[in-house]
Amino acid sequence: MSLSTIGLIFLRLGTLAFGGLGATLALIEREVVDRRAVLSRHDVTDALTYTKVLPGSTAVQVVAYTGWRLGGWSGAAIATAAFLLPSAVLMALLAAGYAGITDSPALLGVRQGVLAVVVAVLLVTMERLARPLITGWLPVVTGIVSFLLVLVLSISAVWVVIASGVVGLVTDRSRS
């Protein structure tokens, strides 16, 4: 498949992929499996399985994985860039617009209301992420200790996450 076709496919996906990973997967399936039949449904499932264990945004990684299957390294690069372009442009425009309205008192209430909802949505996200992880005391302790280390002692979040990964490695080794 030509690189320009890959670019066009993923540009479309990037414009339509409202709603995160689920929407992205559904769109990829419809485009490359149903409409163009260049990959099988099984390939898309594989893409999800193998990228889920990687750190970073899974939706982008499914795109990169699929792009590689369609056109190697350059296919992966084109697919990812095209997929991100629409939302990146939109975000930059919003950032530019936001700087202009920051000081308007009429919109202070709007910003406060949105912020309250953001807190609520993040709490729900936290709960969704946490629930499958609670498999014993260790993950619970790791989560709480990480929370406190960053909140109270202001330790860099990156180091806390890496240290917890190392704890995961060590406990896995001692188990086997």
Partner 1 sequence: MPLVERAAVHDTAWLTTSTFGAAVAFSYITPGPVLIIATFVGFHVAGVLGALAATVGAFIAPWALATLAAQQVKRFATNRRLSAFGAGAAPAVVGVLGVTVVSLGREAFPSWPYVLIAAVAFGLARWTRTHPALLLVFGGVCGYLLGL
Number of H helices, E strands in the chain: 7, 0
- Exposure pattern of 123-151 as b/e (b: 16+ CB <10 Å)? eeeeeeeeeeeeeeeeeeebbeebeebee
Question: According to CB under 8 A, which one of 2, 30, 35, 118 is a site residue for partner 1?
Answer: 118
What minimum distance in Å lies between the beta carbon of 97 and partner 1? 10
Residue 1 in the binding site for partner 1 (CB under 8 A):
no
Question: According to CB under 8 A, which one of 3, 26, 33, 86 is a site residue for partner 1?
Answer: 86
The size of the chain, in residues, is 176
Of the pair 40, 168, the CB lying nearest partner 1 is at 168
Question: According to CB under 8 A, which one of 5, 33, 38, 164 is a site residue for partner 1?
Answer: 164
Residue 161 in the binding site for partner 1 (CB under 8 A):
yes
Question: According to CB under 8 A, which one of 3, 16, 33, 38 is a site residue for partner 1?
Answer: 16
Site for partner 1 in 88-107 (CB under 8 A): 88, 90-92, 94-96, 98-99, 102, 106-107
Site for partner 1 in 18-77 (CB under 8 A): 18-20, 24, 46-47, 49-51, 53-57, 59-62, 64-65, 67-69, 73, 76-77
Question: Using CA atoms, how far apart are residues 100 and 79, in angstroms rounded to an integer?
Answer: 33
And the tokens for 100? 């202009």
What minimum distance in Å lies between the beta carbon of 142 and partner 1? 4
DSSP string, 67-115: HHHHHHHHHHHHHHHHHHHHHHHHHHHHHHHHHHHTT-GGGHHHHHHHH
